[in-house]
Amino acid sequence: MSATGVGACFGAGLPPQGERVPFEMGDRLILWPGSSRERAVSYEAIRLEPGGFDRRHIQLRWTEDGAPWALVLDDTRMARAVRADPPPGLSGEVERLDAGLKRGRLVSGTGWSLVVGLVLLPMIALALLWWQADRIVGAAVARIPVAWEEQLGDAAYGQLTAGATVIETGPAVEAVEGIGERLAAAVESPYTLRWHVVDDPQVNAFAVPGGHVVVFTGLIREARSAEEVAGVLAHEIQHVLLRHSLRGLVRSLGWRAALSILFGDTGPLSGVGELASRLGTLKFGRDQETAADVEGLALLHRAKIDPHGMAAFFDALAKQEGGRVALLSTHPVSAERAARLRAEIVRAGAWPVVPLPYAWGRVRASIGTR
Amino acid sequence: MPQMHVIDYEIHGGDMQFVEIELDPEEAAVAEAGGMMYMADGIEMETVFGDGSGSRPGFLGALVGAGKRLLTGESLFMTIFVNTSREKKRVAFAAPYPGKIVPMMLGELGGTIICQKDAFLCAAKGVSVGIAFQKRLGVGLFGGEGFIMQKLEGDGLAFIHAGGALVERTLKPGEMIRVDTGCIVALQGSVNFDIEYVGKIKSALFGGEGLFFAVVRGPGRVWLQSLPLSRLANRIYAAAPQRGGRREEGSILGGLGGLLDGDN
């Protein structure tokens, strides 16, 4: 076979930047540099090297009278053709060249994959964390002792009620504590549940980890019976018992830690004090609210309290949704919840009820109207 | 030369150079957006997406060209200067920092030049400005400026700008020199490029040079610059007063001297 083509030739007597010369690959390499001088080079003398900036060229190099010569096949198509079908004398060299290039590609390929892997590793770790977040949080929360949680809760309660007026005595406090005691008697809990009434017009109640449950006077005013308040309290108790605040805290802490490990400092991790204040603003997820509703209903059952109050209260809230009802902003749509509660009540069937001994009108009157 | 426009030129200035190009009627030059210094009446300026060489026809081709230019950190657009008058007109392009402007006849240099990313100044219309990048890991990680470079193809005239003093070396087949990666301005297409580990941790730590050198191997021409812009910028940045550098050459009066010397 004999291939012909044009390449850039470098050598003694040729311009330093090379000269484009026609060549022929037969029994020997024949080329015509300059105007007419024909040169023949035997293949034994030729070494092949990858050439050019991105190693796509082939350089044929040899020495003639002590001077280095080179023919550069800078047309990649021609270089490929020569590699695919070399003249017999060159096949050994082509094999060597191919092996070298292949090894280079292998090393580079492995290296680049490693680099890409390293870059993607944090993303993969993060995805894994997100995917398994519930399990990880659950495992972490299970290891946190109740005493620790109560300390945190005390600090949080102190901060949350720092600027508020806590009502210490009166029929409202007695009523809330009474309802609370009756509910607490119906659960086995490692927590000491404590009940507080805060003078605030918002229709709201919240639970702090460790057992503090805070009811705003706005809620007492809004409720039409003790059973309605009992429903809300049963719901809030379940947030404590199911350690929802703690889960949220661990989750957000964990995320912040993970993010700062993976992406560098995302702002200083806050101290315990700030954490405690964050507790008040933590939002429960929809799943957690539903769980608290269902478990709260079961608690009402055990405490022999009429569950229709709970459903009625959510109904009342649903009617004025969009008003200044703070309880709603973090909770699932009340109408939906009331409907689900009624379905649960029907499923559970009627249970013996011991009415709560409070004249609700008097309790409401005792906190005044504002 | 089918598409290439032949250009007459004149380079002015010593260390801060500009090149004045004479365009015949209908002739055009292409330049990096922002490089123009002045142009005579009768020269029309047109901004094109991509490199304006027309080597890849159609919108998609232009998009690919522009995307590659984005990779090298250049503007997406290039500017074409066309002489629409009936006589010869001049347009000038200035180098953006101290150094030399190198004219290169691509046709005589094998048709391809690989140059440092921001070294390209201007060229005859028809020269394609693309990118060339290294697939090899070592060069990619440690090649510094050598990883992604610009590739000028065609057979017309192109102007490249080098920082500081310029040296042109012609390498015989197999002849090799080691260069700081930042000091390479341009390589003829036939020149090999690789990265070499210095191999001595002591010289890497205390010698002030990088851990890696570029190795260029002939045959072909290479152009080297004595002062890469990044080096100059490092020194200027380190000396800036906001960075704690000293504005004075060393007065014991310090800030008071600054008040008194009268050139505030």
How do residues A84-115 score in pLDDT, each as one tens digit? 888 888 888 899 999 988 988 888 888 888 88
Q: Give yes or no for residue B262 having a pLDDT over 60.
A: no
Indicate yes or no: CB of B192 within 8 angstroms of CB of A52. yes
Higher local confidence (pLDDT), B236 or A253 = B236
| CA-based nearest residue in chain A for residue B189 | A52
pLDDT at residue A244, rounded to an integer? 83
Share of chain B above pLDDT 70, in %: 73
A17 chain-B contacts, CB cut-off 8 A: 108-110, 170, 188, 220-221
SS3 category, A5: strand
Which pLDDT tens digits describe chain A residue by residue (370 residues)? 467 888 899 988 888 888 888 898 888 888 888 766 788 888 888 999 888 888 888 899 999 888 899 999 888 888 888 888 888 888 888 999 999 889 888 888 888 888 889 888 888 888 887 788 778 888 888 888 888 888 888 888 888 888 888 888 888 888 889 988 888 888 887 888 888 998 888 888 888 888 888 888 888 888 888 888 898 888 888 888 888 878 877 877 777 776 666 666 545 544 554 554 455 445 566 778 888 888 888 888 888 888 888 888 887 777 765 544 445 445 556 777 778 888 888 888 878 888 888 888 888 888 775 5
| CA-based nearest residue in chain B for residue A73 | B190
ipTM for the predicted complex: 0.76
Q: B194 to chain A nearest CA, in Å?
A: 8
CA–CA distances in Å: residue A116 to residues A103, A109, A119, A121, A262: 20, 11, 5, 8, 16
CB-nearest partner of A17 from B108, B136, B140? B108
Q: Are A295 and A238 in contact (CB under 8 A)?
A: yes
Indicate yes or no: CB of B173 within 8 angstroms of CB of A70. yes
SS3 category, B21: strand
Chain B residues in contact with chain A using a Cβ-Cβ cutoff of 8 Å: 108-110, 112, 114, 132-137, 140-141, 149, 151, 170, 172-175, 187-193, 218-221
Binning pLDDT at 50, 70 and 90, where does residue B149 land? Answer: confident
B136 chain-A contacts, CB cut-off 8 A: 55, 104, 108
CA dihedral B193, B194, B199, B200 (to 10 degrees): 40
Q: Which pTM value belongs to this model?
A: 0.64
Q: Give yes or no for residue B79 having a pLDDT over 80.
A: yes
Q: Which of B225, B224, B164 is nearest to B14 (CA)?
A: B164
pLDDT at residue B129, rounded to an integer? 84
Q: Which DSSP symbol is given to B125?
A: T
A50 chain-B contacts, CB cut-off 8 A: 192
Average pLDDT score over residue span B57-61: 68
Indicate yes or no: CB of B190 within 8 angstroms of CB of A111. no
pLDDT at residue A277, rounded to an integer? 46
Q: B174 to chain A nearest CA, in Å?
A: 7
pLDDT at residue B168, rounded to an integer? 93
Q: Are A219 and A203 in contact (CB under 8 A)?
A: yes
pLDDT at residue B248, rounded to an integer? 52
Q: Which two tokens stand for residue B133?
A: 């990048």
Report how far residue B204's alpha carbon sits from residue B212's, in angstroms, rounded to the nearest whole number.
9
Report how far residue B148's alpha carbon sits from residue B184's, in angstroms, rounded to the nearest whole number.
12
Average pLDDT score over residue span B75-87: 86
Indicate yes or no: CB of B221 within 8 angstroms of CB of A16. yes
CB-nearest partner of B220 from A18, A68, A104? A18
SS3 category, A128: helix
pLDDT at residue B226, rounded to an integer? 93
CB-nearest partner of A107 from B114, B137, B173? B137
Indicate yes or no: CB of A54 within 8 angstroms of CB of B175. no
Indicate yes or no: CB of B110 within 8 angstroms of CB of A20. yes
- Give me chain B's average pLDDT, please: 81
Average pLDDT score over residue span B188-204: 78
Indicate yes or no: CB of B192 within 8 angstroms of CB of A107. no
Strands A67-73 and A3-10: antiparallel
B192 chain-A contacts, CB cut-off 8 A: 49-53, 55, 59
CB-nearest partner of A53 from B114, B137, B174? B114
Binning pLDDT at 50, 70 and 90, where does residue B1 land? Answer: very low
Test mutation, B137, B176, B187, B221, chain A, max A CBs within 10 A: B137
Test mutation, A21, A53, A102, chain B, max B CBs within 10 A: A53
Q: Which two tokens stand for residue A290?
A: 């539903």
User: Over the range B134-158, which residues count as b (16 or more CB within 10 Å of their CB) and which as e?
Assistant: bebbbbbebbbbbbbbbbbbbbbbb
How do residues B6-35 score in pLDDT, each as one tens digit? 678 999 998 899 999 999 998 899 988 788
Q: What is the DSSP string of A272-309?
A: HHHHHHHHHHPPPPHHHHHHHHHHHHHHHHHTT--THH
Q: B40 to chain A nearest CA, in Å?
A: 35
Q: B213 to chain A nearest CA, in Å?
A: 15
Cis peptide before B219 (omega within 30 of 0): yes
How do residues B98-139 score in pLDDT, each as one tens digit? 999 999 999 888 889 999 888 899 998 888 888 887 777 767
Binning pLDDT at 50, 70 and 90, where does residue B204 land? Answer: low
Q: Are B131 and B71 in contact (CB under 8 A)?
A: yes
